[in-house]
Structure 1
Amino acid sequence: MVVEPPKPHVDPSVLAECGTVADIPDRDLVPDETNRLWAKDRATLGDCRRKNHAKAATIKALVK
């Protein structure tokens, strides 16, 4: 009897895109606010995008 190996499965949430940019209020920002919003954008869009790209490339290569 031949048993087929299970097909690889990757939860779609693992391949989800990164979040969006920070909402900037329609008023003058104090320097602390500017720094906080910039850091949030940097983490969300920069670090997250690089991490997700590497993660998705690795998973796609393993699933093939």
Structure 2
Amino acid sequence: MTPLAVDPPKPHVDPSVMAGCKGVVSIPHRFVPYDELVHLHAIDRQSLGDCKRRDHAKALTIKALTK
């Protein structure tokens, strides 16, 4: 068997896919007005959704690279 003239491309995984999930939003140690509380909750929900989608992308990438 003759060696390849060009090395095959190495699998590439985007670093953003491998990032871990962020923690929850810190709630200040003071009275938190309802509007601010809703905003903090929205940030948490968005982070959770981003994390779930990123974890799904990780699984798909790993499956594709290990075939």
TM-score, length-normalised on structure 2? Answer: 0.79
Query: 1:27 matched to which residue of 2?
Result: 30
SS in structure 2 opposite 1:52? helix
Q: What's the CA shift for 1:15? A: 1.2
- Runs of 4+ aligned structure 1 residues displaced above 6 Å come to none
Distance 1:51 1:19 in 2: 13
Unaligned runs of 5+ in 2: none
Unaligned runs of 5+ in 1: none
Give the structure with higher Rg (CA).
2
The alignment status of 1:49 with 2:55, answered yes or no, reads no
The alignment status of 1:13 with 2:3, answered yes or no, reads no
Q: What's the CA shift for 1:62? A: 1.1
Distance 2:63 2:42 in 1: 32
> Once superposed, what is the RMSD of the aligned Cα atoms?
1.5
User: One-letter code of the match for 1:57?
Assistant: A
Distance 2:41 2:14 in 1: 31
**Higher helix residue share:** 1
The alignment status of 1:38 with 2:56, answered yes or no, reads no
**Matched residues, number:** 63
